[in-house]
Amino acid sequence: MNRDKAKEILQVHPPDAHPNDDPDVRRAFEKLSEDERLKAWYEEEKAFDRAVAQNLKRFPAPSALKEEILEGANLRPSVVSFPWIRPAYAAAAAIVLLTALAWGFLVMDREGASPQVAGETSRASPEFFGDLPSFFEREPDYDHFSTDLAELRRHVRDHGGPDPADVFPASLETVKGSRCRVFEQEQKRVSLICMEEQNSVIHFFVIEETGPASPAVTRTEPRFTEMGDWSFADWNESGKTCVLAIRGSKEKLKPYFQAPTAGQW
């Protein structure tokens, strides 16, 4: 091994690194004891490296960052709590949500929606809705991409997500698939399948068992909620909470719930 080759190897080893099992590295370090000029160069090089490393490590990290991370994650390691939401934004979202929900309940009553039945309380939580607009804006990572809807459904099922098979809206069966993801929210597993139709992306969430399903009702009526640019429909079916989300008014969502199979809800 010549001096230049040895320099090349020695240069990229951290200041306090020791020779490892790589024969080239071992030879380069051995050459140090044979070549005075190389040794002098190496000592100067590592002194420089050490000085740079020690100096850069003094660059301070803001302690408030740690607190914000811990607060945001609420010390729940495997639960997504959307900690990027700033308190002010969260408060505003909560106000909008509560107003929307109150208005929604009033409208539902006026439209003669079915009365609440036992077990129908298993809906998506206000927090879940509140987090969704931000969730979409952040362009979440997706686990798998495919235009094949069946493949996406299989993927979430095989990766620990709630199986969408028995709750998948019939009206979406022929829609083109796009991507999917499995994640956790409020300590519940969530499957998300995204589909595309007429330049719109339809997001279908299935949230795992949220409570005992009513024995009398296998599927509750969808509840429509508008929030900012987004509209949501949520319902409970077979003990799972389902949410359909789309950018636009809730009128865009309603067609997916028309003409259900007889006796479906």
Partner 1 sequence: MSAPTQNDAIDFEKLVESYYSSLYRFAYSLSGNEADAWDLTQQVFIRWAEKGDMLRDKSKVKSWLFTTLYREFLRWKRKNRKLYSMEELAPAAEGTTVASEAVDRTDASVLMDTLTQIDETYRTPLSLFYLEDMTYREIADVLEVPTGTVMSRLSRGKEQLRQRLSSKNEPVGNGGGRSGQASKRQNDRKR
Interface residues toward partner 1, by CB under 8 A: 8-9, 11-17, 20, 44, 47-62, 64-66, 68-70, 72-73, 75-81, 83-84, 139, 141, 183-184
Burial 101-124 (b: 16+ CB within 10 A, else e): eeebeeeeeeeeeeeeeebbebbb
Q: The tokens 């069966």 sit on which residue?
A: 173
Q: How far apart are CA 197 and CA 216, in angstroms?
A: 34
Nearer to partner 1, 40 or 106 (CB): 40
Minimal distance, residue 136 CB to partner 1, in Å: 14
Minimal distance, residue 140 CB to partner 1, in Å: 9
244: which strand partners? 204, 233
Minimal distance, residue 123 CB to partner 1, in Å: 23
Nearer to partner 1, 161 or 222 (CB): 161
Q: The tokens 């789309």 sit on which residue?
A: 246
CB-based contact 152:193 (threshold 8 Å): yes
Minimal distance, residue 225 CB to partner 1, in Å: 25
- In this structure, which long-range contacts are made by residues 40-49, counting pairs with CB atoms below 8 Å and at least 24 apart in sequence? 41/7, 42/7, 42/10, 45/10, 45/11, 46/15, 49/14, 49/15
Nearer to partner 1, 44 or 251 (CB): 44
92: left (phi over 0), alpha (psi -120 to 50) or beta: alpha
Return the structure tokens found at 148: 């094949």
Minimal distance, residue 143 CB to partner 1, in Å: 9
Nearer to partner 1, 28 or 93 (CB): 28
Minimal distance, residue 73 CB to partner 1, in Å: 5
Nearer to partner 1, 28 or 195 (CB): 28
Contacts (Cβ under 8 Å, ≥6 apart) of 106: none
Nearer to partner 1, 37 or 57 (CB): 57
